[in-house]
Amino acid sequence: ALHVCDEVNVYGFGADSRGNWHHYWENNRYAGEFRKTGVHDDDFEAHIIDMLAKASKIEVYRGN
């Protein structure tokens, strides 16, 4: 999307309204089995998302 779009918005990277995280890169009980598969390098992926947001390349909407 970064190569094609003028603006990139990323949704769903944050806690739900009760403060629970449901993302595979989070190390908690809500991460589920997906985190254990090794499909993604979760720490690296979270780092890249943060870097892109800090560089104003993407806008991250983390939830409530």
Span 14-52, pLDDT tens digits: 566 666 655 555 566 655 555 556 666 667 777 888 899
What is the domain extent for residue 55?
9-61
**Position 24 in a domain:** yes
Q: Is the pLDDT of residue 7 over 80?
A: yes
Task: Report the distance separating Cα 62 and Cα 21, nearest Å.
Answer: 10
Task: Give how many domains the chain has, as a whole number.
Answer: 1
Task: Report the distance separating Cα 29 and Cα 56, nearest Å.
Answer: 31
**Position 4 in a domain:** no
Task: Report the distance separating Cα 42 and Cα 20, nearest Å.
Answer: 18
**Position 2 in a domain:** no
Q: What is the pLDDT of residue 4?
A: 94
Which pTM value belongs to this model? 0.60
Q: Which residues of 13-35 are buried (b: 16+ CB within 10 A; e: fewer)?
A: beeeeeeebebbbbeeeebeeeb
**Position 41 in a domain:** yes
Here the tokens at position 64 are 């409530």
**Position 54 in a domain:** yes
